[in-house]
Amino acid sequence: MYDKLNEDRGILNDYDLAHLRGQPRPSGTERTGTMPFMALDLLTNDAWDGKIARLYRHDCESFAWVLLWISCRYENGKEIRNPPLGEFITSDYNRCFEGKHAIISKLKDIAATPSYENSWDASVSLVTLFVSQRYQRELNALRRDGSPSEQAIDEIVQSCQKALEGKGVCINLLDSSHHN
């Protein structure tokens, strides 16, 4: 969404796991989302089989993919010709996972459009953070180091804010007092 009262502010909403008061909460294992913007963990066989619960970090990672996508594919509100990241547009979650998993080696060949140069470093920094965390979880699983405990919401917010330091972008992630 776009905040008309503040020209420099956009608002990202995600209602996949919303519920009506007094009604049962979603389990968090539903297959919802738009593949190019889904967290890597949610583009796996386990997730597609309903074995991965949705976590706060998945929403933060999704935001990172959205920011990267917009920053290199749109100019003045319109999609550019032959935009990058087209391999993310697929109905095959495995192919989308593979394309996103390999993004770090491709980022050097992708640039922001002039409209989004100010957010490019922030988007790259956030995507790099989440992809590197995913690599670390995969390495731990290979080494059988045990499954590390999930980060608390405050730790996720702090790691995102640290990744954004000096990037010229202010992103206000809700503090943990707003989440159950």
Q: Please say if the pLDDT value at position 123 is more than 70.
A: yes
Q: Please say if the pLDDT value at position 148 is more than 70.
A: no
pLDDT band at 10 (very low <50, low <70, confident <90, very high): low
For the chain, the domains span 35-178
| Number of other residues whose CB lies within 10 A of the CB of residue 107 | 17
- What's the Cα-to-Cα distance from 46 to each of 29, 32, 50, rounded to whole Å? 10, 14, 6
Closest by alpha carbon to 63, among 90, 92, 33, 89?
Answer: 33
Q: Which residue has the tokens 């394309």?
A: 99
**pLDDT tens figures, 71-118:** 999 999 899 999 999 999 998 999 999 999 899 999 999 999 999 999
Q: Which residue has the tokens 């409209």?
A: 115
pLDDT given at position 65: 96
111: which 2 tokens?
């640039």
Task: Count H helices and E strands in the chain, helices first.
Answer: 6, 2
pTM exceeds 0.85, yes or no = no
